[in-house]
Amino acid sequence: MYKMIFGAKRRPGMSREDFGRYWTTTHAAKAVKVPGIQRYVINLAPDLSGSGRELPYDGFAEVWFESEEAMKASGRSPEIRVVLADEPNLFDISTRFSVIVKEHLMVDDGEVVGLKP
């Protein structure tokens, strides 16, 4: 399984609430149309302190693909261009990063699975 992990701060002037709402509705509706995605999770960073303190990042997304080929094909799709064109409505693009990782499952449903020979 290959996974892309994205992180970003919300665009200037956007509240945390509006950021979370937009990402999990309008933007996600575009992203779920990208071919080859096996799983897509949005992780919003809550203000657990309640202080209103600005965090370095407001959210992260994880997108799983069955193979490297599927991931590359999704990056060439017209649907991904729609998603990328929408990003300035949501993110401070200067803070946006992505990394591609190969997932290694260590614990699944409470059971250690990754350390077995």
- How confident is the model at residue 117, as a pLDDT? 59
Where along the chain do its domains lie?
2-46+56-65+74-104
> Which whole number is the average pLDDT over 17-37?
97
At 80-90, the pLDDT tens digits run 999 999 999 99
Q: What pTM does this model have?
A: 0.87
C-alpha distances out from residue 43 to 19, 40, 67, 113, 116, Å: 12, 10, 23, 24, 29
At 52-89, the pLDDT tens digits run 888 889 999 999 999 999 999 999 999 999 999 999 99
Beta-carbon contacts of 93 under 8 Å, excluding residues fewer than 6 positions away, are 8, 87
Q: What is the pLDDT confidence band of residue 28, given thresholds at 50, 70 and 90?
A: very high
> Residue 34 pLDDT more than 90?
yes
**CATH among 3.40.30.10, 3.30.70.100, 2.102.10.10, 3.40.50.720 for 2-46+56-65+74-104:** 3.30.70.100
